[in-house]
Amino acid sequence: MSTNSSRLFATLALAVAASRTAAADDLARVRGAGVLRFGADAEGGAPFVYEDPREPGRLKGFEVEIAELLAARLGVRAEMKQHNWAELVPGLVRGDFDVALNGLEITDYREREIDFSRAYYACPLRLMARRSDPSVAGFDDCRARGRVVGTLRESYAQRFLEAEGIDFRTYDDQVTPYLDLEAGRLDAVLMEESIALYYGAPRPALRAAGPIFGELRYGIGFRKGETALKGEIDAALDAAARDGSLRAIYERWGLFNPLVARLLGDPSPDTDAPAPSRDEFLEIASGDGGGGGGGRLLSYAALLLGGTAVTIALTACGMALAMALGLGLALLRLYGPAAAGKAAVAYIEVVRGTPLLIQLLLLYYGLAQLGLKLPAFAAGALGLGLNYAASEAENYRSGLQSVPRGQTEAALSLGLTPLQSLRHVVVPQAVRVVIPSLTNDLIAMFKDSSIVSVIAIVELTKAYQMLAPVSGNYFGIGLVAAAIYFSIGALVAFGSRALERRLGAGWRAARGATPA
Amino acid sequence: MIRVRGLSKRFGGVAVLSGVDLDVGEGEIVCVTGPSGSGKTTLLRCLGGLETIDSGTVTVGGVTIAAGAKDGAALAKLRAKTGIVFQQFHLFPHLTAIGNVTLAPRFVRKESPAEARAAGERLLALVGLKGLEERYPSELSGGQQQRVAIARSLAMEPRVLLYDEPTSSLDPDRKTDVLEVMRRLRDRRITQVVVTHDLEFARSAADRVETVPGTG
């Protein structure tokens, strides 16, 4: 596992080196295409990038507006490429989009792999606590024994808490920490102010605890060596800072603060401007979203259906590949020449012994470095198929071995060739034994397919994760998503039992009744 | 029809058969008896082309297998001359009685389904199973299963039919059924070798009883 990840990082490092030598025609490429593709994750939600649930397909957020502003100054249009946030850097290196623009903090370790624009936003940290709990007045109160602070995984706030030696619990989304704080599972939540303003502050049971502190800065990520594009975008950012258009965006979203004023060289850190875009979002999120209005849920369900279609297509392609490859592996292992059998065993053991996540990352980002850039869907279906082939091979093997040796001997003595015996006598009996475990794996893959969101595929779970923070209704949307998974899984199970009955028509009791 | 000379067979270091001779004429019924572990079943499997041999020769219907012959063309030819009725029958449980009987004619001799079915129905009638064509093995009694197994072997028109302990899974009063089938086949000049430790059955069925001495 650890050797796998270090190999992955080695390939990524190679990629960085390779892209450095690429010709500096990056700006010409963007202008020629007429589009600036920016990588971002709609799961991050407001105020960054989110899909408006009332207008499916329509993206909103202050970073969408910044991207549009920059693209306009380059004379092109902006296009968001959905990509898992945690993999934005490898996605950028792989060439899935031109720039990464999605709350990427400028850090030393990222600068080893990519270049950053000048900072476009500066943000402090905000601590929030319960109104009913006066014991947390400020950050220093979190040092008391037994206090636990919630925060986002791998964030600036987490590193801050680590450095201060405070007990913390990390989360993958920005809504549940505040829910846990309300429920008394946490004593405080420390987040970037941009997030606290949208997900903590609107909750009446919560309050700010002490003043803002700290500072982190967001930058736009470029592939190393794409200096022409970076230069042009830096110039556009400078101009937007000078002429007030960046400030106008931040004010609309209620995000202007003294740190930003300093960053933009703006002399007046006034923060009382109206924030219509934020108000609009909060209205959506708090309105009937929290209460779970039926009409709203229905429109979310429609959005989830797109993800469902992708999930079904992925599982269908993945399972077809797994079944075909698995059968080949099992036959090689049982009947093939010794060397081929050993190779099949090696494949099965290696694939079973490594996490699917690493395999997908290698297929998508790793292979890209060797020149093979698989489309996301193909890489996802291939990853699932190659992975499940190992367990299908073992299913087939136990199925084939469950057919008594006497069956083959009877077939051979009738003059069938070994291949004919397999085809007409052994396999038909093995299939029926294998169907239940095959069904299990089909349903498991259906659910496992959610993992492919790491390679920029929006399937059902990702669609849920993108909708939930926008709606503020984790429970209702979660129920809808779970219901979709469940009903399709139940349908598969039902079909499989019907198939078993059909195949088993006359010989259901065979095993008990025939001396075999 | 069958000529065995100096047949030896070892499994690992254990000699199961050593220097066995056997002659069977066309249309003859020969019962082979002997104590448990004397290699009766192994002898049958050598005759049926399911085992290679370590020394000596086995000749069936003009096809000779010598020591060291690998599983391949020669053994396949031997299998084409012989049919085996296994002790446990080894019927194909996923196929009906007629499906069991027609499988080999359809896929080995490439007969049309209709052709194979007509022949299969005649064979099932010959062994007294008319009307049971669509039953699965699990829906048949032990004696009926045995006769399906016989019909299945006959479908490939073997010159020699080999039985491994045919009475071991039959009720005593059903033994006459298989005896009756064996006599009908003798009328068709099919050579039959029966391995059994049932001496009473051997005496009533066989033209000749041979004994394989235990090896030691």
Q: Which residue has the higher pLDDT, A277 or B116?
A: B116
Q: Percentage of residues in chain A with pLDDT exceeding 70?
A: 88
Taking the domains of chain A in order of start, what are their residue ranges? 14-119+219-289, 121-217, 295-510
* Cα separation, A35 vs A43, whole angstroms: 23
Q: What torsion do the CA atoms of A129, A130, A132, A137 make, to the nearest 10 degrees?
A: 10
- Residues contacting residue A396 through CB under 8 Å, at least 6 positions apart: A326, A327, A329, A330, A331, A430, A434
Give the pLDDT band of residue A506 (cuts 50, 70, 90). Answer: low
The answer, for B49 touching chain A at a CB cutoff of 8 Å, is yes
The answer, for A509 touching chain B at a CB cutoff of 8 Å, is yes
Predicted pLDDT of residue B29: 93
Q: Percentage of residues in chain A with pLDDT exceeding 90?
A: 35
Residues of A in contact with B153 (CB under 8 A): 413-414
The answer, for B136 touching chain A at a CB cutoff of 8 Å, is yes
Task: Give the neighbor-by-neighbor strand order of the sheet with B55-60.
Answer: B14-24, B2-11, B55-60, B63-66
* Cα separation, A356 vs A424, whole angstroms: 35
The answer, for B93 touching chain A at a CB cutoff of 8 Å, is yes
Read off the pLDDT of each residue in A70-86 and give the average, rounded to a whole number: 90
For the stretch A353-381, pLDDT in tens is 899 988 988 888 888 888 888 888 899 99
Predicted pLDDT of residue A286: 66
Measuring CA to CA, which residue among B160, B165, B207, B210 is closest to residue B188?
B160
* Cα separation, B113 vs A64, whole angstroms: 68
**Given an 8 Å threshold on Cβ–Cβ distance, is B138 in contact with A412?**
no
Predicted pLDDT of residue B214: 55
Instruction: Determine the distance in angstroms separating the CA of A332 from the nearest CA of chain B, rounded to an integer.
Output: 20
On the question of a common fold for A121-217 and A295-510, the answer reads no
Up-side HSE of residue B76: CA atoms within 13 Å toward CB? 8
* Cα separation, A392 vs A398, whole angstroms: 10
* Cα separation, A103 vs A86, whole angstroms: 11
Q: Which residue has the higher pLDDT, A275 or B136?
A: B136
**Given an 8 Å threshold on Cβ–Cβ distance, is B88 in contact with A516?**
yes
- In whole numbers, what is the pLDDT of chain A averaged over residues? 84
Determine which of A204-208, B115-119, B137-141, B171-175 has the lowest per-residue pLDDT on average: B171-175
CATH domain A14-119+219-289 topology = D-Maltodextrin-Binding Protein; domain 2 (3.40.190)
Predicted pLDDT of residue A289: 41
Q: Which two structure tokens, joined as six digits, stand for B93?
A: 């449980």
**Triad A502, A506, A512: Cα angle to 5°:** 120
Give the pLDDT band of residue A296 (cuts 50, 70, 90). Answer: low
Determine which of A82-91, A268-277, B141-150 has the lowest per-residue pLDDT on average: A268-277
Give the pLDDT band of residue A509 (cuts 50, 70, 90). Answer: very low
Predicted pLDDT of residue A516: 34
Distances (CA, A) of A259 to A106, A120, A256, A395: 15, 11, 8, 60
Using CB atoms, which residue from B84, B108, B138 is nearest to A416?
B108
Q: How far apart are the first and last CA of chain A?
A: 44
Residues of B in contact with A515 (CB under 8 A): 88-89, 142, 169
Helix A427-448 × helix A376-401 angle, to 10°:
140
Read off the pLDDT of each residue in A232-260 and give the average, rounded to a whole number: 90
**Given an 8 Å threshold on Cβ–Cβ distance, is B50 in contact with A410?**
no
**Given an 8 Å threshold on Cβ–Cβ distance, is B138 in contact with A507?**
yes
Residues of B in contact with A404 (CB under 8 A): 90
Report whether pLDDT(A20) > 70: no
Q: Which residue has the higher pLDDT, A5 or A325?
A: A325
Using CB atoms, which residue from A409, A413, A429 is nearest to B94?
A429
* Cα separation, B190 vs B149, whole angstroms: 16
* Cα separation, A91 vs A459, whole angstroms: 18
Q: Which two structure tokens, joined as six digits, stand for B172?
A: 């005593």
- Beta-bridged to residue A389, according to DSSP, are none
CATH entry 3.40.190.10 includes domain A121-217: yes
Strand A206-208 relative to strand B2-11, pairing: unpaired
Determine which of A91-100, A189-198, A297-306, A501-510 has the lowest per-residue pLDDT on average: A501-510
B78-100 burial code (b ≥16 CB/10 A, e <16): bbbbbbbbbbbbbbbbbbbbbbb
Give the pLDDT band of residue A387 (cuts 50, 70, 90). Answer: very high
Report whether pLDDT(A84) > 70: yes
Reduce the DSSP state of residue A218 to 3 states and report it. Answer: strand
Report whether pLDDT(A478) > 90: no
DSSP per-residue string spanning A462-473: HHHHHHHHHHT-
Give the pLDDT band of residue A499 (cuts 50, 70, 90). Answer: confident
Reduce the DSSP state of residue A105 to 3 states and report it. Answer: strand
Query: Burial of A456 by CB count in 10 Å (0-12 exposed, 13-18 middle, 19+ buried)?
Result: buried
**Given an 8 Å threshold on Cβ–Cβ distance, is B138 in contact with A407?**
no
Using CB atoms, which residue from B86, B138, B142 is nearest to A406?
B86
The class (CATH top level) of A295-510 is mainly alpha
Sign of the Cα pseudo-torsion (A432, A436, A440, A443, in order): positive
Strand A59-60 relative to strand A50-51, pairing: antiparallel
Cite the DSSP H helix spans in A132-207. Answer: 156-164, 176-182, 193-195
For the stretch B135-180, pLDDT in tens is 999 999 988 999 999 999 999 999 999 999 988 878 877 788 888 8
**Given an 8 Å threshold on Cβ–Cβ distance, is A510 in contact with B93?**
yes
DSSP per-residue string spanning A306-364: HHHHHHHHHHHHHHHHHHHHHHHHHHHHHHS-HHHHHHHHHHHHHHHTS-HHHHHHIII
Residues of A in contact with B90 (CB under 8 A): 404, 406-407, 409-410, 516
Q: Are A322 and A385 in contact (CB under 8 A)?
A: yes
Predicted pLDDT of residue A148: 92
Using CB atoms, which residue from B139, B142, B156 is nearest to A506?
B139
Report whether pLDDT(B35) > 90: no
Best residue of B44, B94, B136, B139 to probe chain A, by most A CBs closer than 10 Å = B94
Report whether pLDDT(A34) > 50: yes
The answer, for A515 touching chain B at a CB cutoff of 8 Å, is yes
Give the pLDDT band of residue A291 (cuts 50, 70, 90). Answer: very low
Predicted pLDDT of residue A461: 84
Report whether pLDDT(A424) > 50: yes
